[in-house]
Amino acid sequence: MSPTGGILPIIKVGIDYGQQKENITNFLRYAKGVVPALSMNADRTTDVLGAVSSMDVDDEEEETESVMDDLHSMDLDESHPRTRRRRREADTLKYMEQLQKITNREQKALIVDLKDLQEFLNAQMRGSGTDLAIGIEGNASHYVELISECVDSILAEMTPTVDISHKDDVLDVIIHQRQERNARQSQGRSLGPDAMQSQMDGEEQEDASQAALPFPPSLLRRYTVYLKPLSATGKDSKPMAVRSIRAEHIGSLVTLRGIVTRVSEVKPYLQVDAYACDQCGAEIFQEIKGRQYMPLTECPAECKRNNVKGSLFQQVRASKFVPFQEIKMQEMTDQVPVGHIPRMMTIHMSGPLTRSLNPGDVCDVSGIFLPTPYTGFKAIRAGLLTDTFLQAQHVRQLRKSYSALEGELTAETSERIRSLSREGDVYDKLAASIAPEIYGHEDVKKCLLLLLVGGVTCDMPDGMHIRGDINVCLMGDPGVAKSQLLKYISKIAPRGVYTTGRGSSGVGLTAAVMRDPVTEEMVLEGGALVLADNGIACIDEFDKMEESDRTAIHEVMEQQTISISKAGISTTLNARTSILAAANPLYGRYNPRISPVDNINLPAALLSRFDILFLILDTPSREDDERLAQHVAYVHMHSEHPPLTFQPLEPQLMKHYIARARQYQPNVTKAVSEYLVSAYVKLRNQTKDDEERGQAYTYTSARTLLGIVRMSQALARLRFSEQVEIGDVDEALRLLDVSKSSLTVTSRRDNIQDGTTNDYSSVTKIYRIIRDMAMAIGHEGRDAIRESRLRGKRAELPQGVQEDEDWLQDENAPGPLNMRDVRERIIAAGWVEDQLQECLREYEDLGVIQVANGNRLVFL
């Protein structure tokens, strides 16, 4: 009789899963390679997972390729210890070592690299490796369970080399006991009925009856299998946009690229529910396959066979929970078509992979694209529609922090950094390599370089925090490339966020209170400044912001925190970020008929929080305009910047150099401290004079002094030095002075002897360095003579200094210098011998200095 209902179509696919399990088992047993460095601490996911690799957009090399690069960079020197270690690692049974660590309870994740599987099986059986790898990517959910079964069969044959103890996790002890019971039951070593009757009481008989019920495999697994996708093979290996995923990708392993906008808290996810019967004492387990399940209420074991209704009670301690986290990923701006808004994808992370992403991270996430039905009232409204999510398997960071960059430094890059640091003009080279397509703005680029390097953050014993990040504001006429500089800095910074003033609100910059879609609780969602934590926040059109929104960043710019008291949530968020703002004057262009304060139109409380404010005015000049037009025309003709006098450094090398420089913590010596005090007093007097003339545009306060210290520390970091020198302070003061040079081009300070002129030629700069050295020698000599006279001993004077009463009474008299010290200092500052000789000749002709016997320099 034919059936009345429809018959589901059945398709027989010629896949031998038994043979594939055998191939995967052989791969896990005999595959060789470098074992990823794993840690037992599941809270630090970047250490737990070797699969969580931090890679830059410009550096797409895989781990094995970087190993081979290191070997080639050493010219395959077998005597090199690193070469021998790398070769030993390459000959290691990669997966068997990881399985031994899992057996010893030292590892919680097993990363199966499909590229390793492909290469291993292709070497053993021609062509089968590629087919199996592509098949795994097409049906990833099924193969994860298949690989887990293969791992279980291998682990059953392995014995731990570390004994279980009371110090281990409770779940590990319970799993160990369950594994021993399953082993006894499978090997037939359980006691017979007669012996059990004579040796056990009633309670022990109940325990023995439970031994016939093996534990579910998912309960005994203390590991999680992750799939690392193919890097060069397979149709889904290239990162996709959210809108590119179709229904054909359901169940497949796909890779998405985007920015993380929201991260939920890590919560326990029930995987196996354990019950205990109050009648027979049986232990019942229920595997959870979906987001919802119906708990068991009646005992299906001994009570059902005896027609007794035994009640079940949940045993939380015997159940298995795994960490679970929900991520919201948004499309990148370059992936969004014209006229569309960015789409979002929900990503589920479980196991050790949790806590591997933070809001603001730009990354590639590989995972299994799966559907999930709506629940609750949403299911009634949705009908047959379902939601989709991505079950994460592998995470690759596209923008890594400076600490991660230092960890991936190769021998070749390290040698280039050392050679670059030994060159005297590294400061100028790095600054000129910032946006070489943009003409001019040499001093602005130097300031942006110091912004990337930053100063030293100080945490006092009493809890006071003094920021080391540098805040910069670029204010000027339209068309001076302010926005392009901001865009470039936001891209080259490891963690950069770009936003505009008109498109940003107060809560959008700080934090907003949202309702969690999973728990329905009120939670905080960080804004742009929170996303830029330990990075740079670039705010364009800063002057277009509403005053109420602009005041939201006052606390961020100084205390580097965000205090929130909303919807019953009172907390403080970290916003350790540098602010790079760009603004226009009040009337769009700078109006020379009104005062600078009226042109800037920013409150003093906000201006004082910027370490340096650059005023960039577009003043007509035939020579400058002609060079600018030629530069722009060349860029549009050849799609590249004009030929430079030197080769610009690659952005990747700049990142590595800055990462190395940020490791130094330069301090301020006594001589530099005294020089800072005198410079600050002069700045205060100059500000007073500017206010009287109506030319002041900012307020000089103690924050200005701190800004000078931060910029001086950044300059010392660029030299890989642990001490700040007077030359660093001079360069910081020069940047402060040149920041307003376009405003007061004709302004001059007192005279050359005081070193306060706006002449920025190489001769003047070298003379200032020499004068500062002589002043420092003079102060040191006078202090030594006075101290020796108080003690009645002979003074140990600096070389060339003699006891002269007239010179001793003159506090501003410079001391003599050794030409060898002068030459070393000038060359270290980036100048050459010819420029030094030109300076000496010019000031000797002026009667300011005299070089005696070619080795001693004195001031007349």
Q: Is 288 exposed, middle or buried (0-12, 13-18, 19+ CB in 10 A)?
A: middle
Residue 778 belongs to a domain: yes
Amino acid at 823: R
Pick the last residue of a domain from 673, 706, 738.
738
Report the pLDDT value the prediction gives residue 347, as an integer from 0 to 100: 92
Domain containing residue 45: CATH number: 2.40.50.140
Asked if residue 731 and residue 768 are part of one domain, the reply reads no
Do 388 and 446 have their domain in common?
Answer: no
What average pLDDT does this structure show over 91-113?
A: 85
- The whole domain housing 332 covers 17-160+223-267+322-397
CA dihedral 68, 70, 71, 73 (to 10 degrees): 120
Q: Is residue 94 within 8 Å of 34, Cβ to Cβ?
A: yes
End-of-domain residue from the set 356, 374, 397: 397
297, part of any domain: no
Q: What is the pLDDT of residues 497-542, one digit of tens each?
A: 888 776 666 666 777 777 776 666 777 777 777 777 778 888 888 8
Render pLDDT for 295-333 as a digit per residue (tens, 0 to 9). 888 888 778 777 888 788 888 888 888 899 998 888 887
| Domain annotation covers residue 207 | no
Confirm if 432 and 646 have CB atoms less than 8 A apart: yes
Q: What is the CATH number of the domain that holds 500?
A: 3.40.50.300
Q: pLDDT tens digit string along 657-670?
A: 888 888 888 888 88
Please report whether residue 682 resides in a domain.
yes
Residue 470 shares a structural domain with residue 602: yes
Reported as a single tens digit per residue, the pLDDT across 768-792 is 888 888 888 877 777 777 777 666 6
Tell the residue number behind the tokens 């590991």, with chain if given. 223
Would you call 226 helix, strand, or coil by DSSP? strand
Radius of gyration for the alpha carbons in the chain, expressed in angstroms and rounded: 35
Q: Cα(282)–Cα(296) distance, rounded to whole angstroms?
A: 13
Q: How far apart are CA 66 and CA 779, in angstroms?
A: 54
| Contact call for residues 218 and 322 (beta carbons, < 8 A) | no
pLDDT at 764: 80
User: Is the model's pLDDT at 835 over the cut of 80?
Assistant: yes
**Kind of pairing between the strands at 344-350 and 386-397:** parallel
Residue 316 lies in a domain: no
Residues 658 and 630 both lie in one domain: yes
Most confident stretch, 364-378, 663-677, 691-705: 663-677
**pLDDT (0 to 100) of residue 637:** 84
Measured distance CA(609)–CA(550) in Å, rounded: 13
Looking at mean pLDDT, say which of 164-168, 369-373, 479-483, 803-807 comes out highest.
369-373
Same domain, yes or no: 850 and 810: yes
Please check whether residues 576 and 721 belong to one and the same domain.
Answer: yes
Same domain (yes/no): 568, 657: yes
> Percent of the chain having pLDDT more than 70?
76
Would 302 be classed as within a structural domain?
Answer: no
Asked whether the beta carbons of 45 and 52 are under 8 A apart, the reply is yes
Neighbours of 650 (CB within 10 A): 13
CA–CA distance, 288 with 269 (Å, rounded to integer):
10
d(CA 791, CA 91): 71
Angstrom distance (rounded) from CA 135 to CA 146: 12
Which amino acid type is present at position 21?
Answer: K
Q: Residue type at 372?
A: T
CA trace torsion 126, 128, 129, 130 (10° rounding): 100
| All residues at 6 or more sequence positions from 636 whose CB lies less than 8 Å from its CB, including other chains | none
Domain annotation covers residue 337 = yes
Give the span between the Cα atoms of 288 and 102, in whole angstroms. Answer: 23
Together in a domain, 423 and 379: no
Question: Does pLDDT of 174 surpass 50?
Answer: yes
Q: How many domains does the chain have?
A: 3
Ranges of H-type helices in 139-212 = 140-155, 170-187, 193-199, 202-210
Q: Is residue 601, in this structure, part of any structural domain at all? A: yes
Residue type, 166: H
**Does 778 lie in the same domain as 713?**
no
Residue with tokens 């960059």: 405
Whether the Cβ atoms of residue 826 and residue 766 lie closer than 8 Å to each other: yes
Looking at 437-441, 705-709, 719-723, which range is the least confident one?
437-441
How does 666-683 read in b/e, with b if 16+ C-beta sit within 10 Å?
bebeebbeebbeebbebb
Q: Say which residues have a Cβ less than 8 Å from residue 626's Cβ, sequence separation at least 6.
A: none
Query: Do 457 and 377 share a structural domain?
Result: no
pLDDT (0 to 100) of residue 58: 40
Count other C-beta atoms under 10 Å from residue 568's C-beta. 7
CB 92 within 8 A of CB 64: no
Whether the pLDDT of residue 836 is over 70: the answer is yes
Same domain, 719 and 772: no
For residues 740-768, average pLDDT: 55
Tokens 């140990």 label which residue?
796
Confidence of residue 756 (pLDDT cuts 50, 70, 90): very low
Number of Cβ atoms within 10 Å of the Cβ of 824:
11
Query: Domain boundary at 373, 397, 421, which?
Result: 397
CA dist 541 and 501 (Å) reads 5
My answer on whether 97 and 119 are in the same domain is yes
**Which residues neighbour 90 within 8 Å (Cβ) at sequence distance 6 or greater?**
32, 33, 34, 67
The mean pLDDT value for 734-742 works out to 79
Q: Compute CA 385 distance to the chain's CA centroid, rounded to the nearest angstrom.
A: 39
Q: What is the pTM of this model?
A: 0.65
